[in-house]
Amino acid sequence: MRISGRLKSNNGNFRRIAVIKGEGISVAPTLLVGEDLAAGQLIPLLPDYPPVASDLSIVYPASPAALGQGAEFCRHSGRAFCGRT
């Protein structure tokens, strides 16, 4: 299937707002659009066909202050998204 259009973005919140305004469709995590789904602002398009799982990459500056924050974020993300510590 070939999909075309004028609007392209790699920003999830921008895509969320565009879809709510009727500008198209998007793949989005429930974390981002769960409230919109519950409120009826968005509806699942293909509920029987979940998206393929993908890796999560976390990058952060190599400054001493960011290292501690980045490491803590990685630990939190592992627990929140993967059930890991």
pLDDT at residue 39 in the model:
97
Task: Report the SS3 class of residue 64.
Answer: helix
Q: Does the pLDDT of residue 36 top 80, yes or no?
A: yes
Of residues 3 and 28, more confidently modeled: 28
d(CA 31, CA 16): 12
Cβ-based neighbour number of residue 33 at 10 Å: 20
Q: Does the pLDDT of residue 81 top 70, yes or no?
A: no
User: Who contacts 51 (Cβ-Cβ below 8 Å, separation ≥6)?
Assistant: 27
Q: pTM of this prediction?
A: 0.60
Using pLDDT thresholds of 50, 70 and 90, give the confidence band for residue 80: low
pLDDT at residue 69 in the model:
73
Q: Does the pLDDT of residue 22 top 80, yes or no?
A: yes
